[in-house]
Amino acid sequence: MHRIEQIYIDGAFVAPHGQEWFDLFNPATAQVIGQVRLADEHDARRAIAAARRAFPAFSRTGKAERVEWLRRLHAAVQAREDDLFDAIVEEYGAPVSRARWMAQYAASVLLDAASVLEDYAFTRRMGTAEVVMTPLGVAGLITPWNSNGGFICGKLAAAVAAGCTAVIKPSEMSALQTRVVTEALHAAGLPPGVFNIVTGRGEVVGAEISTHPDVAKVSFTGSTEVGKAILRAGAQTLKRVTLELGGKSPVLVLDDADFAQAVPLALQAGFMNSGQACIAGTRILVPRQRLAEFEAAVVAEVARIRSGDPRDPDTAIGPMVSQKQWERVQRYIRLGIGEGARLLAGGEGRPRGTRDGWFVRPTVFSGVRNDMTIAREEIFGPVLAILPYRDTEEAIAIANDTSYGLQAYVLSADAARARAVAGRIEAGRVLVNTLAHEPAAPFGGFKQSGIGREYGTFGLEAFMEPKSLLGVD
């Protein structure tokens, strides 16, 4: 049994003031694997005070110094890759190939920020003014459970690069990953107070961070509902916010697409991270005249996709993170059937060969209309909807008929045509015939998928404010 009893404040592991113990589960067995002692408001305030004390000196460090800190943080997290991998599999249930990528990403994102920082000009000339990009202050960084280690490191990387200090509120459900990452970051030897890590409940520690006057900025990844609550809470002190929220990403299969490539790619986009991905391509738009052909290829392909034990290298889809998440997915499957969508693959219940864990069957509905609940709401599980369309104009209209706008996919044999369609999609990222990630490019949502951007220069500038100096020649 794991027992996690410490939080990290002012460069030291300390016992929290909070007394609540929170159970940690292995989603592949539904068994309790440990407990974490949660921080409370008092702990959050101590962490904010430490970050505030550290800010004046840290904000004055130079670019070379911070590049060096980021390199050290990268080396320290990389050194713990195997431990992080084990924690991700045990506590989150990611299949091993995905868990390996996630563990590597937590380190690489720190190096990505170092290279952005190296090339970044903090001072530029605009007319007669000298414009200096200035760090905002104490940043509150709040992460979800679906990639906790990676989000901690990614947000901290941008904050450190900008010269901000940080209070991190990881998901309370991801305490094993947080422990590994905290130990690694501590080993890098940054000055005390530059980052502080307080695992606690969202409505307690997260709420304190979102309202505290000494927090200048909140960078949040999580649900749209909580994102809106943070925006409201931060309004009183006009906090700067970056909100990375939910999605209902369309996959536009154009009528010239080669289905031998398009079908596996669409299913990978939909089932990535066991369907628990904000960027999952969950609405698959297929030309009506090729619908039967597409459906047949989907049925054959889904039959090859294994949902089960995350430690089996053949597994593509691991368990849902919690019982609550499992029940949520089951409810959406029932809703889809009730609304008259046609079940093409999967359905309610557990996949054959699995028992106690929170496993779900890879599920695809066809004949879905865009006004059905399963086409509008984020399910956050491996449940996909195929929506037939008449022509490309209608496909673009359906793709954009959503309150979200995080990511989209366009699949076509004609690159120029796909490029033209991609230009008309309302989303922060559009991937044409690929699932590749580009860490140098901004990432974030249009519409209710968020506010602001992460990664690259845009992500760095989200932790800074421009200051214009006049008459300083």
User: Active-site residue numbers?
Assistant: 244, 278
Q: Is the CB of residue 337 less than 8 Å from the CB of residue 364? A: no
Residue 143 interacting with ligand NAD (CB under 6 A): yes
Residue 278 interacting with ligand NAD (CB under 6 A): yes
Task: Give the DSSP letter string of 41-96.
Answer: HHHHHHHHHHHHHHHHHHHT--HHHHHHHHHHHHHHHHHTHHHHHHHHHHHH---H
Give the range of 82-90, 94-102, 219-227, 364-372 binding ligand NAD by CB under 6 A.
Answer: 219-227
Least distance (Å) from ligand NAD to the CB of residue 213?
16
Q: CA of 280: how far to CAs of 113, 161, 379, 408, 435, in Å?
A: 25, 29, 10, 9, 10
442-471: contacts with ligand NAD (CB under 6 A):
445, 450
Closest CA to 106 of 55, 151, 159: 151
Work out which of 61, 115, 223, 457 binds ligand NAD, going by CB under 6 A. Answer: 223
Place of tokens 């980052």: 195
Residue 226 interacting with ligand NAD (CB under 6 A): yes
Q: Is the CB of residue 257 less than 8 Å from the CB of residue 403? A: no
Work out which of 142, 190, 262, 418 binds ligand NAD, going by CB under 6 A. Answer: 142
Q: Please, which residue, 75 or 441, has the CB nearer to ligand NAD?
A: 441
Work out which of 182, 196, 221, 412 binds ligand NAD, going by CB under 6 A. Answer: 221
Give the range of 5-13, 157-165, 168-176, 294-302 binding ligand NAD by CB under 6 A.
Answer: 168-176
| Dist CA 329 CA 325 (whole Å) | 6
Give the range of 26-34, 84-92, 215-223, 360-368 binding ligand NAD by CB under 6 A.
Answer: 215-223
Work out which of 171, 274, 315, 402 binds ligand NAD, going by CB under 6 A. Answer: 171
Residue 251 interacting with ligand NAD (CB under 6 A): no
Residue 359 interacting with ligand NAD (CB under 6 A): no
Residue 40 interacting with ligand NAD (CB under 6 A): no
Q: Please, which residue, 169 or 350, has the CB nearer to ligand NAD?
A: 169
Q: Please, which residue, 66 or 179, has the CB nearer to ligand NAD?
A: 179
Work out which of 91, 112, 378, 426 binds ligand NAD, going by CB under 6 A. Answer: 378
Least distance (Å) from ligand NAD to the CB of residue 439?
13
Q: Find the angle CA(449)-CA(454)-CA(460) to the nearest 5 degrees.
A: 145
How many residues touch ligand NAD (CB under 6 A)? 29
SS3 244: strand
Give the range of 14-22, 87-95, 144-152, 430-438 binding ligand NAD by CB under 6 A.
Answer: 144-152
Residue 50 interacting with ligand NAD (CB under 6 A): no
Let me know if 229 is exposed, middle or buried by CB neighbors in 10 A (0-12, 13-18, 19+).
middle
Element (H, E) at 373: helix 373-376
Strand order in the sheet with 450-451: 12-14, 7-9, 195-197, 165-169, 138-142, 215-221, 240-244, 450-451
Element (H, E) at 196: strand 195-197
393-412: contacts with ligand NAD (CB under 6 A):
406
Beta-ladder partners of 383: 363
Least distance (Å) from ligand NAD to the CB of residue 231?
10
Residue 439 interacting with ligand NAD (CB under 6 A): no
296: tokens are: 């047949």
Buried b (16+ CB within 10 A) or exposed e, 253-290: bbbebebeebbebbbebbbbbbbbbbbbbbbbbbbeeb
First to last CA, the chain: 64
Tell me which residues touch ligand NAD (CB under 6 A). Answer: 142-146, 169, 171-172, 202-203, 206-207, 210, 221-223, 226, 229-230, 244-247, 278, 378, 380, 406, 445, 450
